[in-house]
A and B are shown apart, each in its own frame.
Chain A
Amino acid sequence: MNLLVLPVLVPMVAAASSLLLWKSVSAQRLVALLGALGLALVNGMIFARTQTGEILVLGFGNWPAPFGIAFVADRLAGIMLLATGVIAVAVQIYSFSGIDSDRESFGFYPLTLILLMGVSGAFLTGDIFNLYVWFEVLLIASFVLMSLGGERLQLQGAVKYVTLNLVSSALFLTALGLLNGSLGTLNMAHLSERVAEAGDPGFTTALAVLFLVAFSIKSALFPLYGWLPASYHTPPAAVSALFAGLLTKVGVYALIRTFTLIFTQDPGFTHQLVLLPLAAMTILAGGMGFWVQHDMRRAFAFAIVASVGVALVGLAMTGIPGSEAARTLALAGALAYVFQTMLVKTQLFLMAGIVRRAMGSCDLRTIGGLAATAPWLAAMAMIGLLAFAGVPPLSGFAPKVAVLRASLDLQQGWVAACILAGSVLALAGVARIWSEAFWKKPLHRPDESEQDQPANALARIVPVTGLALCIVALGLGAGTVFDAAEAAARQLLDPSAYIRAVLGGGP
C-alpha cells in the first residue's frame, strides 16, 4: 500500500469504526486514541521520507497526472502533516476528561477523526478542486463540532462561523471554475506550467486575488478575521484547541501552496502590493485584540490572528524583488513559524480549558491566583505564552527573527516595525494574562458546583505538558528546525522539482 493514502485512510477507518461503536463511549475513546496515534505515526513516516528531498506522488486509480487526482507530499506537506499528528494525539488525550459525556456520546470522536481526515487530505492533495473537496470535508466536521452541545452562545458562534466559511467556499469555487475555464486544468503542477505559458496574465492575476480573498477568510487575514474571535471561544476547549491548531493553518497552507506554485506571474502586485500590507495589518490587529480582551480564550483567538499575520508576511515577502537568500529566509521563517505556532495555539487553548474548569470562568477580571493553586499548570502556561510572544529560547523566537531579518534585508522597514510592534503588543498581553490569571488574588472564588474537577486531572495536564515540552525542544533545537524549514522554502521557491515529480517528464 502506498504510504500517501494512509493519512486519510487511518482516520477514515477509525471514524467508521467509532461510528459502529456508537453505544460504547469507552470503545470510541480507544479507537480515537489509536486513530490519532496511527495518524501521528504515518505522518511522521511521511515527514521523514520528505526530509530527504524526495517528493512522493500517488496517482489515484493509476491515472497519470494531470488526468487523475494526485496526492503529493513535498517538504511543506511533510511539515504540516507532522504537526497535525502531534496535535491529534494531544487533543484526543485531553478530550478523555475535557469533553462532557453528552458530547462524547453524540459523536465527538468520529467527528474529530473526520476533521483530521479532511486536514490530512488538504495537505496532501495535488489537485485544486480536490483541495476544495477536502476543505468541505473538514468544514462539515468542524461545523458539527462547533455546534455540538447546542448551548446558546455556541450556536450563535456557529452561525457566524458557518456563514463566513460558506462564503469563503463559494468564492473558492467561483475562482476554481474561472481558473478551469481559462486554463483548462485543475492539477496544481499543471496549472503552474499553464500560468507560466498563458498569454493573459491580467485575468490570472484577477483570479489570484479571488483565491486570496477566499483563503484569507479561512486563514483569518485582516480584514476578514472577524468570524474567528466571534466563534472560537464558544465550543469546549478540546474543540477550539483542535481548530486553533489546524483550521486556520489549512488556509495558510493553501495560500503558501498556491502563491508559490501557481500564482507567481505578477508577484509585485499579488504578493507585495496586496498580501504584504494585509498580513502586516493582521499582526497589528491580532496583537491589539490579544492585548485588550478580557476573556482568556478570546485573547487567544486574537493570538491566532496575530500569528497568521507573521506567517503570511513571510510568504508575501517572497514576491519582493531582491536577493534569493533574503526571500528564502522569509519563507523559511514563515514555515518554521507556522509549524511551532500550530503546537503553541493548541497548547494555549487546552490550557485555557483547564483554567475554565478550575475557576469556572475564563474572565481575566475575576479569576486569579492560579500560580499558587496550580503551579504546574502555571509553569506550562508560561511556556506557551512566552513562546507566542517570541521570547528566547522558546520556539516562537527564532522564526520571528528570521522573518524580521528578511524584511530588513528586503528594505521593508515598515514591515519590520509592524512585526516588532506586534511582538510588543503580544508581550504586553502575555504580561497582563499572567498577572491577572496567575498572580493576583481571585475576585471570585469558584464554588463547588462550578469547580467540577481539579485543575490537575492527569488526562488534561499530560497533553499540555507534552506540547510544552515540544515547544521547548523546538526552541532549543532551533537550528535543526530552521534547516528543515529552509530546505522546504528552497523547494517551494523553485517549483520545477515539484512539477517534474507530478507530471513526469524526466529528471
Chain B
Amino acid sequence: MVWLLALAIGALYAGGLYMMLRKTMVKLLIGLAMIGNAANLLIFTSSGIVRSKAPLVPKGAKTVEPPFADPLTQALILTAIVIGFAVLAFALALVRRTYEAVGSGGLEDMTEE
C-alpha cells in the first residue's frame, strides 16, 4: 500500500512540475493543483499507514491501545486542503482576469508594455 501511494505521489509531483513548465496559464494552474495534492498525500503517507481504529479512548481506560490512526496528521491535511482550495480559487480568478487583460492564455505573450 505504501509503495502504491509513494508511486502515486511521485507521479503527482512529476506531472505537476511538467504541467507548470508548459506555456499556458491553465496548465500552470493544473500543475499547481497537482503539486498541492501530492504534498497532502505525502503528509498522509509519511506519518505511517496502518490498518487501525479511530483514536478514541475506550470507557474506563486512560489511553488508546495502539494501533490507532494519528489524528494530528489528518488535522494537518484538512488544514492544508482548505488553504489549498482557497489559494487555487484565487489563482483561477487571477488567471481569468489576466487572460482578459492580455488577450491570450499563453505565458509567452506576457510582455512588458
Q: Is B102 within 8 A of A177, CB to CB?
A: no
Separation in Å of the B74 CB from the closest CB of chain A?
Answer: 12
What's the A-B contact tally at a CB cutoff of 8 Å? Answer: 94
Q: Considering the chains assembled together, what is the distance between the CA atoms of A293 and B47 in angstroms?
A: 48
Q: Is the interface of B mostly helix, strand, loop or mixed?
A: helix
Q: Tell me whether A158 is interfacial, beta carbon within 8 Å.
A: yes
Does B97 contact A140, Cβ atoms closer than 8 Å? no
Q: Which residues of A contact B28 (CB under 8 A)?
A: 159, 163
CB distance from B84 to the nearest CB of A (A): 9
Across-interface contacts of B42 in A (CB, < 8 A): 174, 177-178
* A129 partner residues in chain B, CB cutoff 8 A: 76, 79
- Give chain B nearest CB distance to A447 CB in angstroms: 19
| Of B46, B72, B95, B107, the contact of A182 (CB 8 Å cutoff) | B46
Q: Judging by beta carbons under 8 Å apart, are A181 and B25 in contact?
A: no
Q: B76-99: which have CB < 8 Å to A?
A: 76, 79-80, 83, 86-87, 90-91, 94-95, 97-98
In the bound complex, what is the Cα–Cα distance between A147 and B92 (angstroms)?
13
- Asked, given contacts A136-B87, A150-B101, A167-B20, whether A162 binds B46 with beta carbons under 8 Å apart, the answer is no
**Contact pattern, A 128-144, Cβ under 8 Å of B = 1, otherwise 0:** 01001100100110011
**Is B98 touching A159 in the complex (CB atoms < 8 A)?**
yes
CB distance from A366 to the nearest CB of B (A): 14
Contact residues, B21-69 vs A (CB, 8 A): 25, 28, 32, 35-36, 38-40, 42-48
Which of B94, B102, B113 has the most CB atoms of chain A within a 10 A radius of its CB?
B94
Interface pair A178/B46, CB less than 8 Å apart: yes
Q: Which residues of chain A are within 8 angstroms of B83 by Cβ–Cβ distance?
A: 133, 136
In contact, B46 and A180 (Cβ under 8 angstroms): yes
Q: Tell me which residues across on chain B come within 8 A of A136, comparing CB atoms.
A: 83, 87
Q: Does the CB pair B98–A158 fall under 8 Å?
A: yes
Taking CB atoms, residues of chain B closer than 8 Å to A170 are 32, 35-36, 38-39
- The answer to whether B7 has its CB under 8 Å from any CB of chain A is no
A144 and B90 within 8 A (CB) = yes
Task: Name the distance in Å between B75's Cβ and chain A's nearest Cβ.
Answer: 9
Contact of B86 among A132, A140, A153, A182 (CB under 8 A): A140
Is B87 in contact with A155, judged by CB distance below 8 angstroms? no
Asked if A177 and B46 sit within 8 Å, CB to CB, the answer is yes
State whether A181 and B46 are in contact (beta carbons under 8 Å apart), knowing that A153-B112, A159-B98 are contacts in the complex: yes
Kindly provide the distance from the CB of B43 to the nearest chain A CB, expressed in whole angstroms.
Answer: 3
B-contact bits for A163-186, CB 8 A (1 contact / 0 none): 100110110011011101110001
> For window 3-46 of chain A, which residues contact chain B by CB distance below 8 Å?
none
Residues A163 and B20 in contact, CB atoms below 8 Å apart: yes
A156 in the interface (beta carbon within 8 A)? yes
Pairs across A and B, CB under 8 Å, 11 listed: A136-B87, A140-B86, A143-B90, A147-B94, A153-B112, A156-B110, A163-B20, A170-B32, A176-B43, A181-B45, A181-B47
Given A156-B110, A159-B107, A173-B43, 13 additional A-B pairs, CB 8 A: A129-B76, A133-B79, A139-B87, A140-B87, A143-B90, A159-B110, A162-B91, A162-B94, A166-B87, A176-B43, A176-B76, A180-B73, A182-B46
